[in-house]
Chains A and B, each alone.
Chain A
C-alpha cells in the first residue's frame, strides 16, 4: 500500500475528484473513438510521426488552446475565490496550487506553444522555405514540450500540484516547506518542455539564416520572421540558465544537495537570480513574436508598408540585449543596496525607449493608410492603448524606491497582465484569426470574431484596472482571502466580473470556430486578406511542399511587389522536391522522457535508469540510421497544383 500512497492527492477536494473522473472519461472516449473510427493508423501516420512544420504548428496550436482553457479555469477559480471577502470556496492550500499552476501553465504551456505554433506555421512560409532546417528535431521539440505539459498537468490528480508560486522561490519550494511531490513536477516538467524549446531555438535560427528564398537578404525579411529570429536567439541564451537552475532545484529536492537551502551554505537568493536571469528574457521571448504579428497585421490592414522598418529591427535587437540586463528589478527589495538598485532601475526604464519606438512606428504605419478594421486589426488596435497602460505602469515599477511599495502587490499583477494579455494574448488571437485561412482553408466568421475581440478587450480592462488600485491600497498578491474590513471587496468583485467577461469572450471564439467549420466558405483563394508577404503566395491550405517553385524575392513585401509592381515570384519549371521522411522516434523518445520524468518525480530510480537508457538508445538509433529523405516527383507536383488551383 505504501507504494501507492504517494500517488494520492495530499489535499483532495470535490472538484479534483470530478476532474479525475473527467480526465479518465476523456481518455476512454478518445481511445474508444479512435478505435471505433479506425483512426489509429491515420493518427500515427499523419500526426504522431509527422515532421511537417505546418502540422507541428497545428499541434502546438491545439495544445496551446487546451492549456489556455486549463489556465483560464484556474484564473476563474482565483477570481471567484477573491470576489467577496472571507470566501470559503477554496482553502489556502488549494488556492496556492491554483495560482501556481495558473502561472506556469499560462507562461510555459500556453503562451510559449502559441508563439511556437505561429512561428512553426508561418516562418518557413514567409521565407519561402520547404520546411525548417531540422524537421525531425522540430518534431522532437514539439513532443518534448507536449510531454512536459502533460506531465505537469497530471500533477493535480496524481501526487499533488506545485504550490510555491510560478516563481517557485526557495526555500519555500524546498523539501522543508514543500513536502508534496508538487515542486518535483515543477522542476522536471518544465525541464523537459524547456529542452524542447531550446531545440526550437537552434532550429529556427539555422532555418532563418540559411533557408531564405533567393533575394531575401536579412533586411528584406518580413517583420514577423525578424521577431522570430531574435526571439530564438534569446531562447538559445536564456534557456540554458533555466536548465541549470531547475537541475539544481531538482538536486536539492531529490538528492539532498544544499544549493538553495537555509543551511550548509545554501543560498536562496541564487535561485531568485537564476530564475529571473531566464525569466525576464522569457518575457521578451513572448512579446517579440507578438510585436512581429502586430507589425504584419497593422501593415496589411492599413494597406501600407510598415513605417520605420529599420528602426523596428534595431529596437528589437536592443530589446533582446537589454532583456538580459534588467533581471534584478524583480527583487529590488532583496536588500542589494541603493547602487545596484539604481543601475537596474535605469536599465529597466531604458528598455521602454525601444518599446516606445515600436508603438510610434505602428501608429505612423496607420498614417495615410486605408485602414480596414478586420478582426486581427481590431485586436491590434485594442492592443495599442491597453498595452500602453501596461507599459507605462512598467516604467513606474522600474523606479526602484517606488517599487518597494508596488512589489508583491496587486499593482504588479495588474501591470503584467495588462502587458501580457494585450501584448501576447491579443497578438496570438490576432495571429490565429489572420493565419487561420492559411492553416485550414476557410476564414473565421468576422462578426463573431469582432464581437469576441470587443468583449475580451473591455473585459481585460474591467478585470485588471481595479487591481492597480487594490494594490496601492495594500492588497498583496497571492492572498487566498482577505477580511471585509480591508475594503478590497468591491474592487475584487469588479475584477471577477471582468474575468467572467474574458471567459465569455473565449467562449465566443470557440463558438466561432465551430460556426465557421460548419458554415464558412471553402472558396477563399490563396490571399483572402489582400496581404503582402510570401505565405499568401501559396495555396490555402498549403501543400506539403509549401511552394511548387522556390520564390524569388526583391523586398520585404514580396507578394505586394508581385501584385502591384509586376514582380515575378515564381520563375522556372517544376523540379522534383526533396522532403524529409516521417519518423516515430521523436514521439517515442519523448514518451520515454515522460516516463523518465514521472519516475524522477516519484523517486522511482530503477524506472528512471531504464528510461534514461531508453532515451540514449533513441539517440544511438538516430546516429546510425541512414535516412536520405524522399522526393516528390514532378508529376505529383503537377497533379497537386492542378487540384489546388481548381479549388480556388
Chain B
C-alpha cells in the first residue's frame, strides 16, 4: 500500500482518496434526492384537501430544539475531525460520541413531533400536503437514523483499531455525511417550517 505522508491521514491511501471523491459524488445524488422532495413539497404545499395546513400544525418549540441540537452536532463532529487530524484519538472519540448523542436527541424530538402530527389528524394518509411533509421530514430522519448506526460502527472501529488511514478515512466521510444532513435541515427549517408558519 502506497502512503503519501504529506497528506492528511484520511487522504493518505489511494483507496481513501477514491472513497472521498466517490462520496462527494454520492452527496451530489443526495442533493438531487432532497431537491426533488423539496420541489414536490412546494408543488403540494397548498393541496391540503380536507386536512390541516402547515400553519395549523407547526409548533416552533420542538423545531427550534431540533435545529439547535443538530447544528451543535455538526459543530462537534467538526471538532472531532479536527482532533483526529491532530492525532488525538480520545478527544476525537468524545466528540463523536457527543455528536451521536445529539443526533439521538434530535431523533427523539422528531419522533415526538411525528406522533404529535398523527395525533392531531395530520397523518401520512390525510392529504397530499401531509404526505409530502412527512415524507420529506421522514427521509431526513431516516438519514439521521442510518447515520447514528453508521457513526456508532465507526466509533467502535476507531476505538478498537486506533487511528489508521482507513478508520480516519471512514470517519472523515461520515463527517461529510453528517454536515450534509445539517445543511438539508437548514433548508427544511427555513422553507418548510419558517415559511409555513409565516
Binding site for B on A (CB under 8 A): 133-134, 198, 201-203, 205-206, 209-211, 236-241, 243-245, 247-248, 251, 255-259, 261, 263-267, 270, 274, 277, 578, 616, 620, 623-624, 628
CB of A264 within 8 A of CB of B29, answer no
Residues 36-54 of B, flagged 1 when their CB comes within 8 A of A and 0 if not, give: 1100100110011111000
In chain B, positions 15-67 with a C-beta closer than 8 Å to chain A are 17-19, 21-22, 25-26, 28-30, 32-33, 35-37, 40, 43-44, 47-51
Stretch at the interface among B114-122, B148-156, B181-189: B148-156
CB of A265 within 8 A of CB of B44, answer yes
Which residues of B lie under 8 Å from residue A616 when comparing CB positions?
149
Bound complex: CA A198 to CA B37 (Å): 17
CB of A240 within 8 A of CB of B17, answer no
Stretch at the interface among B77-85, B98-106, B123-131: B123-131
Which residues of B lie under 8 Å from residue A251 when comparing CB positions?
124, 131, 135
CB of A240 within 8 A of CB of B125, answer no
CB of B49 within 8 A of CB of A259, answer no
Provided the pairs A248-B135, A263-B49, A628-B1 are in contact, do residues A620 and B22 lie with their beta carbons within 8 angstroms? Answer: no
Partner of B29, one of A237, A261, A578, A623: A237
Which residues of A lie under 8 Å from residue B93 when comparing CB positions?
none
In the assembled complex, B92 has its CB within 8 A of some CB on chain A: no
B161 → chain A closest CB, angstroms: 8
CB of B33 within 8 A of CB of A244, answer yes
CB of B1 within 8 A of CB of A270, answer no
CB of B132 within 8 A of CB of A259, answer yes
Residues 136-171 of B, flagged 1 when their CB comes within 8 A of A and 0 if not, give: 000000000000011001101100000000000010
What are 12 A-B contacts with C-beta separation under 8 Å? A211-B18, A236-B25, A243-B33, A244-B40, A256-B125, A258-B131, A259-B131, A261-B128, A267-B43, A267-B128, A623-B150, A624-B156
B181 → chain A closest CB, angstroms: 16
CB of B40 within 8 A of CB of A248, answer yes
Partner of B128, one of A209, A265, A274: A265
CB of A274 within 8 A of CB of B36, answer yes
Please provide the 5 A-B residue pairs with the shortest distance between their CB atoms, ordered closest to farther. A265-B47, A264-B49, A265-B128, A265-B49, A240-B33
Which residues of A lie under 8 Å from residue B32 when comparing CB positions?
236-238, 240-241
Bound complex: CA A274 to CA B47 (Å): 17
Q: Which residue of A lies closest to B153 (CB)?
A: A623
A sample of 16 more A-B contacts (CB under 8 A), given A236-B28, A238-B32, A257-B131, is A133-B22, A198-B29, A240-B35, A241-B32, A244-B33, A244-B40, A251-B135, A264-B126, A265-B128, A265-B129, A267-B128, A270-B43, A274-B40, A616-B149, A620-B149, A620-B153
Which residues of A lie under 8 Å from residue B18 when comparing CB positions?
133-134, 206, 210-211
Which residues of B lie under 8 Å from residue A261 when comparing CB positions?
128
Partner of B47, one of A239, A243, A266: A266
Which residues of B lie under 8 Å from residue A628 when comparing CB positions?
1
Which residues of A lie under 8 Å from residue B33 when comparing CB positions?
240, 243-244
Bound complex: CA A60 to CA B110 (Å): 42
Bound complex: CA A468 to CA B52 (Å): 50
Q: Which residue of A lies closest to B22 (CB)?
A: A206
Bound complex: CA A133 to CA B50 (Å): 51
CB of A265 within 8 A of CB of B36, answer no
Which residues of A lie under 8 Å from residue B26 when comparing CB positions?
202
CB of A264 within 8 A of CB of B37, answer no
CB of B21 within 8 A of CB of A206, answer yes
CB of B29 within 8 A of CB of A201, answer yes
Bound complex: CA A578 to CA B15 (Å): 11
Bound complex: CA A261 to CA B128 (Å): 9
B184 → chain A closest CB, angstroms: 13
Bound complex: CA A238 to CA B156 (Å): 36
Bound complex: CA A404 to CA B48 (Å): 32
Bound complex: CA A211 to CA B135 (Å): 38
Binding site for A on B (CB under 8 A): 1, 17-19, 21-22, 25-26, 28-30, 32-33, 35-37, 40, 43-44, 47-51, 124-129, 131-132, 135, 149-150, 153-154, 156-157, 170
| Interface of chain A, main secondary structure | helix
Q: Which residue of B lies closest to A244 (CB)?
A: B36
Q: Which residue of A lies closest to B25 (CB)?
A: A202
B63 → chain A closest CB, angstroms: 23
CB of B127 within 8 A of CB of A237, answer no
Which residues of A lie under 8 Å from residue B135 when comparing CB positions?
247-248, 251, 257
CB of B1 within 8 A of CB of A258, answer no
CB of B128 within 8 A of CB of A266, answer yes
Q: Which residue of A lies closest to B126 (CB)?
A: A264
Bound complex: CA A145 to CA B182 (Å): 32
Bound complex: CA A236 to CA B22 (Å): 11
Which residues of B lie under 8 Å from residue A211 when comparing CB positions?
18
CB of B49 within 8 A of CB of A258, answer yes
CB of B36 within 8 A of CB of A241, answer yes
Bound complex: CA A578 to CA B13 (Å): 13
Which residues of A lie under 8 Å from residue B127 when comparing CB positions?
258, 264-265
Bound complex: CA A244 to CA B150 (Å): 23
Bound complex: CA A264 to CA B50 (Å): 6
CB of A244 within 8 A of CB of B25, answer no
Bound complex: CA A58 to CA B192 (Å): 47
Bound complex: CA A243 to CA B33 (Å): 8
Which residues of A lie under 8 Å from residue B28 when comparing CB positions?
236-237
Partner of B30, one of A201, A206, A240, A274: A240
B32 → chain A closest CB, angstroms: 4
CB of A134 within 8 A of CB of B22, answer yes
Bound complex: CA A241 to CA B34 (Å): 9
Partner of A270, one of B40, B124, B126, B129: B40
CB of A202 within 8 A of CB of B22, answer yes
Which residues of A lie under 8 Å from residue B36 when comparing CB positions?
240-241, 244-245, 274, 277
Q: Which residue of A lies closest to B30 (CB)?
A: A240
Bound complex: CA A264 to CA B47 (Å): 8
CB of A210 within 8 A of CB of B128, answer no
CB of A244 within 8 A of CB of B48, answer no
Which residues of A lie under 8 Å from residue B132 when comparing CB positions?
259
CB of B124 within 8 A of CB of A236, answer no
Bound complex: CA A257 to CA B44 (Å): 13
Most-contacted residue by chain B among A264, A274, A578, A620 (CB, 10 A): A264
Which residues of B lie under 8 Å from residue A578 when comparing CB positions?
1
B25 → chain A closest CB, angstroms: 5
Which residues of A lie under 8 Å from residue B44 when comparing CB positions?
259, 265, 267, 270
Which residues of A lie under 8 Å from residue B128 when comparing CB positions?
257-259, 261, 264-267
B138 → chain A closest CB, angstroms: 10
Which residues of B lie under 8 Å from residue A240 when comparing CB positions?
29-30, 32-33, 35-36
A112 → chain B closest CB, angstroms: 17
A286 → chain B closest CB, angstroms: 19
Which residues of A lie under 8 Å from residue B51 when comparing CB positions?
264-265
